[in-house]
Structure formats: C-alpha cells, structure tokens
Amino acid sequence: MAGKRTFTMIKPDAVADGNMGAILSMIEKAGFKVIAMKYTQLSQAQAGKFYEVHKERPFYGELVDYMSSGPIVAAILEKDNAVEDFRTLIGATNPADAAEGTIRKLYAKSIGENAVHGSDSDENAAIEGNFYFSECERF
Ligand code: ATP
Ligand code: MG
C-alpha cells in the first residue's frame, strides 16, 4: 500500500527568486498537509550526504554546490499516495519535459536548478524526513 508521507525541499533557486510562497501555496492547494517545516541552509557536507546516491553521476559536484548555495525550505508532507502524487505535482526533472501547470514547468530554470525536490519512494521519504526532523518537530 502506498504511504501517506513524502519529503520536499524548495531549492535555492526558487527561494532566491521569491517563489517560496507561490510553491507552498500550490502544495497546500493540491491537498498536502505540512507535518514539519524548516528554513535552513545545507553545508557542502550535508548536501553531499543527502545526494550520496548520485555520487557517481557526472553532475554530482555541481549538484552539491548548488544545493548548498543558499537557503532552502525542507518539509514533510502528508496526503494519500503522497510520493506519487507529489511527483506528479512537481513534474519531470527537466522543466523542458515537465507537464503544463506543474511546479517545475512554472518555476524551474534548468535540469539542474529545478526549483523543488520530491522523494522517489516511501523508503526514501522516511530517510529524507529523518535527515532533517526529529520526532518533536513533527505535528
Ligand atoms: P529530486 O531528487 O531533486 O527530486 P529528481 O528525482 O527529479 O530530482 P534525480 O535523478 O533524483 O531527479 O536527480 C537529482 C537532482 O540532480 C535533480 O533534481 C537535479 O537538480 C540534478 N540533476 C539531475 N540530472 C541532472 C543533469 N543531467 N545535469 C545537472 N543536474 C542534474
Ligand atoms: Mg530524485
């Protein structure tokens, strides 16, 4: 059965461009409830750990630099079928391929600077949420 929670980050480009509020509004209007939320900045080491699964990919260094370049919003979100429905809401990794009306179509600049993160499985949603939030930071 699909889980009820996913994890997201509003990435440095979207925060710097002043799109944090618009993106949070889209997330709430799509029926996701915020369980935990933090405005924070990753160090290079933290960004490297978060994206460790991509460490062999050619864009890993660029990704770590970008994700630690400015503040982000991290959040745990709740909704039925959360992981899949959130991936639908954000759209394809490359905004050129993202469907009309998706967050990445509206706000992403490129395949690298693509405005938002969404977990790709229930297992990773739990790991990623635990990376940022303790039990007493969840409501
Ligand atoms: P995310 O995990 O951030 O939600 P995703 O699951 O759509 O994105 P992944 O394949 O997990 O895509 O890639 C993680 C991130 O690495 C992308 O969101 C993007 O910021 C960056 N990335 C992916 N592919 C490329 C690429 N070809 N060139 C530059 N950056 C890339
Ligand atoms: Mg991913």
Ligand 1 atom 3, closest CA = 117
Phi and psi at 133, nearest 5°, equal -125, 135
Among the listed residues 32, 12, 9, 136, the one whose alpha carbon sits nearest the alpha carbon of residue 80: 32
**Ordered per-residue pLDDT tens for the chain, 139 residues:** 689 999 999 999 999 999 999 999 999 999 999 999 999 999 999 999 999 999 999 999 999 999 999 999 999 999 999 999 999 999 999 999 999 999 999 999 999 999 999 999 999 999 999 999 999 999 9
CATH superfamily of 5-137: Nucleoside diphosphate kinase-like domain (3.30.70.141)
How are strands ordered across the β-sheet holding 33-40?
33-40, 72-78, 5-10, 116-118
If one residue of 11, 23, 63, 102 were mutated to test the ligand 1 pocket, choosing by the most ligand atoms within 8 A of its CB, it would be 63
The ligand with the least distance to the CA atom of 7 is 1
Please report, for the chain, the start and end positions of each structural domain, with discontinuous segments joined by +: 5-137
Q: For the beta carbon of residue 53, count every other beta carbon within 10 angstroms.
A: 10
Residue 31 φ/ψ region, left for φ over 0, alpha for ψ in the -120 to 50 degree band, beta for the rest: left
> What is the pTM for the complete model shown?
0.96
Is the CB–ligand 1 distance for residue 114 below 6 Å?
yes
